Structure 1
């Protein structure tokens, strides 16, 4: 049995506003190990690809599906991660790891992410139940307005899925509905320190500005799914395989593999980046 990691008030707040911030989710030594692996693992760097925003600036990311015995796998399989996710998603089905990605926003050149919902992407993978999906971002550097921190519209997950079309190479939400949401709900800049975690609903509207500062903004974002939630246009299988949970101390104390065996996503294989016709409707 997973121990309860969150308070009832935190769970209620997640359902009310569509996200919660957990301060110091990862300790400094854990952050250092994760960040150094992100910088030094050649397999991750060799499998990174760029996504252009509408201005042509690039955000670089590496995305893989099956969590392994590397330091990122130990984080995404940790009891504190899976225990927290399970409390927020509820239900009887076990938690599965959909995919994780390291986002690399370099100083001066790191691009923006347009307004979107994660389910705006994952709808193309034909996941059936957005309430059974969640995203967790762990900051590897300080994130603030200066270096393009995440922005969220509090409570916007209650709108349901908003239509998405292409914005550069990204999927962007219908700006009429985004502007309506901004008139109705609060815009929040998610300024966090390295090691803080943001857990957010798959229908929460969010974006980030380009990184025009002198400081990097790197983060790892993991998507989790309940096994009871099928996806009918997803070729990977991790989304339906229950996570093999490891103790929290594995991140520091266990020997970690490289990501050489990870099943990385190739940009050309991502269904979310392919036109289906309805994006222009």
Structure 2
């Protein structure tokens, strides 16, 4: 298994706002996740759409606690949690995870945004959070791979406003940032993982290709950054880490087990987020204090 991050890798993350770990999960491991997600009726039942303001719709499922199934095995495995801990310089806890289902030909876009632009309103005082973007399918320019602005996390929190049903970063500000910072298309193979800072500006195009671009994103907050108020995402909750071998063990059980009730109970432990409560990207109001900052 890959070892911990080196000092040079951590320095790259600090300066760029992101770090790409190639083949962090091998072909067999990521196939377990891909097959699980695409055959998972419960995941599909909890999926909802968000208008991207460009005529398309982003489809996703969100859950707050990792659970005991295959998704939890990824979010709780040492490979991810150890790296999150190194990048946060603190004990990480699971803030939430989501599956982005950018389907072939119809998958919607994400507007330029910062995750902290959403999470600021949840009572999180600092941007010391990290997201881990796991490529389930190949991510290419053609099917709407993630785009990031290298070093843009240093710009601080940018004002966000609604675009369709998504909150996007101030377009004028983003346009000026793009004049000084490099735009990077992050093409990824299944099993690659992109770690990125909560203030890094990122977006993705619609998928007009014949190939799906599904991805799972695990978000971690630092223990010392425990939100000061309740919101639709959890406050500090100790994370029960799993050895890396749990990905294969739990993933294999997913298909060996014919007991539907057991699979249901694993899904129920995940604390799915109702779309009506997913206010991170949709609750900005012109009259809020944030709108004047």
TM-score normalised according to structure 1 size = 0.94
- Residue equivalent to 2:267: 259
Select 1:274's aligned residue among 260, 264, 283: 283
Q: Is the 8 A contact 2:19 2:196 kept in 1?
A: yes
TM-aligned CA deviation for residue 280 of structure 1: 5.8
Which of 108, 117, 139 matches 1:111? 108
State which drifts further: 112-121 or 238-247.
238-247
Q: Does 1:136 align with 2:132?
A: yes
Q: Distance in 2 between matches of 1:166 and 1:231?
A: 24
Given the two structures, how large is their TM-score scaled by the length of structure 2?
0.90
Residue matched to 2:260: none
Deviation string for 1:32-73 (max 9, x for gaps)? 110111111211111100011012301110000111111110
Aligned-pair CA distance for 1:236: 5.1
Distance apart, 1:260 and its partner CA? 3.1
CA distance in 1, matches of 2:193, 2:235: 21
Give yes or no for contact 2:232–2:279 (8 Å, CA) kept in 1: no
Equivalent residues in 2 for 1:92-241, closer than 5 Å: 94-130=91-127, 132-235=128-231, 238-241=234-237
Following TM superposition, where does structure 1 have runs of at least 4 consecutive aligned residues deviating by more than 6 angstroms? none
Alpha-carbon distance in structure 1 between the residues aligned to 2:193 and 2:215: 10
SS of the residue 2:65 aligns to = coil
Residue 39 (structure 1) aligned with residue 38 (structure 2):
yes
Give secondary structure in 2 for the equivalent of 1:271: coil
Structure 2 portions without partners, runs of 5+: 255-262
Q: Report how far residue 194 of structure 1 moved.
A: 0.6
SS at match of 2:224: coil
SS at 2:206's partner residue? coil
> 2: distance between equivalents of 1:96 and 1:32?
26
Partner in structure 2 of residue 242 of structure 1: 238
Q: Which residue of 2 aligns with 1:22?
A: 21
- Which deviations, in whole Å up to 9, do the C-alpha atoms of 1:115-171 show, x marking residues without a partner? 0000111012121110x2111100001101100100000000000000000011001
Residues 236-281 of structure 1: CA distance to partner in whole angstroms, max 9, x if unpaired? Answer: 5744012110000101123454423321111211232224324765
Distance in structure 1 (CA, Å) of the matches to 2:235 and 2:215: 21
Q: Is the 8 A contact 1:139 1:193 kept in 2?
A: yes
Q: Distance in 2 between matches of 1:239 and 1:29?
A: 34
Indicate the SS of the match to 1:9: helix
Answer whether contact 1:125 1:271 (CA < 8 A) is retained.
Answer: no
